[in-house]
Amino acid sequence: MRRWLAKSLKRKLTLLLVFAILVPMLITGIVSYRIAASVTEEKAKQSGMNTLKQVKDKLEFVIQDVENMSIFLIGEKDIQLYLDNKTEDVTRYSLIIGTLTNLAFSKKYISNITIKPLDGKPELSNSTILESGLPPLLEQFKMDYRKTSKWLTSLYTNYTNEGVKQVVSIVRPIRNFYNFREIGWISVSLDQKVELLTCMTLPDKERLIVVLREEAGAPDEASLAREMKRIGQILKCETFAALGRSVGGCEQLSASFAEADRIYSFKGLIGSSGLFSSEHWLPSEFL
């Protein structure tokens, strides 16, 4: 090697120029990549925290709105009279059903409003429930329910005339205004498919951020891909979804969002439509 260089000044100058050009370029590239990666990661974390704040604010708004509605209905004169009277009042029954229907129709996240008298009179509801998963929950957690002024249930199933619905309910006891005797209870159910309590959606410029809570029997990646295709057919457009990793708690959602954001940044390379996850499309050095 030394003899090969010693025989030609041109070779020496060429080798020197190669080192003089490539080494600074390589160093500059490495430094630039690290700076860009650090900035991108920080932006992704900040965006994830903003997303979590929006999720929190939206949940608080929905819960507060439902609580206010339940308090309004408990104090409604016709409801108090219907529950307190020993005889059935068909006219008042019809008026209350109309009120419940109007309230539920005006808020898309409400699946059902049910008022159950304790004296055996027909219950009041804005929809026909063939079978409800609420009574078993109330019986199972009877002590917890009795100790509080309001109780938030876990996810359960209602079989209605409109089909099967997964709901979460806020349950409150109804008491007589004058002697505070318990005369019934009210439940306001939130439809998880509409309001997406287990799947919060938030607009982010030209994207839609989705936070999906996993439940037993949750759809796998193939099922989600089919749903994305179906949504695209309905909307008559192409849909691109970047799937972040599953996490164990809300405090880890920023990491999941950062991963999905990295996958989204490769949209121009991996395709313009479909469902993409890090396991199949993102190289390990980018995780």
54 within a domain of the structure (yes/no): yes
Residue range of the domain that includes 16: 1-218
Distance of alpha carbon 101 from alpha carbon 115, whole angstroms: 12
245 within a domain of the structure (yes/no): no
pLDDT digits (tens, 9 = 90+) for 140-192: 887 777 777 888 887 788 888 888 888 888 899 899 888 888 899 999 988 87
Confidence band, pLDDT 50/70/90 cuts, at residue 196: very low
Write down the pLDDT at residue 115.
92
Is the predicted pLDDT of residue 229 greater than 50, yes or no?
yes
Strand partners, 53: none
Is the predicted pLDDT of residue 22 greater than 70, yes or no?
yes
In sequence order, which residues have a C-beta less than 8 Å from that of residue 188 and are 6 or more positions away? 66, 69, 70, 110, 112, 113, 169, 170
CATH number at residue 122: 3.30.450.20
Distance of alpha carbon 122 from alpha carbon 116, whole angstroms: 8
Q: State the Cα angle at 34 between 28 and 38, rounded to 5°.
A: 145
263 within a domain of the structure (yes/no): no
Write down the pLDDT at residue 8.
65
Distance of alpha carbon 46 from alpha carbon 271, whole angstroms: 27
CA distances from 3 to 16, 17, 138, 232 (A): 16, 19, 91, 67
* 8 A C-beta contact, residue 194 and residue 109: yes
Grouping H, G, I as helix, E, B as strand and the rest as coil, residue 13 is helix
Confidence band, pLDDT 50/70/90 cuts, at residue 216: very low
pTM beyond 0.85? no
Confidence band, pLDDT 50/70/90 cuts, at residue 194: low
pLDDT digits (tens, 9 = 90+) for 26-63: 888 888 878 877 777 777 667 666 766 776 777 778 88
Strand spans (E) along the chain: 110-117, 124-125, 129-132, 151-152, 156-160, 163-175, 182-191, 199-204, 207-212, 240-243, 274-277
Write down the pLDDT at residue 150.
84
Q: How many domains does the chain have?
A: 1
pLDDT digits (tens, 9 = 90+) for 237-252: 677 888 887 777 666 7
262 within a domain of the structure (yes/no): no
238 within a domain of the structure (yes/no): no
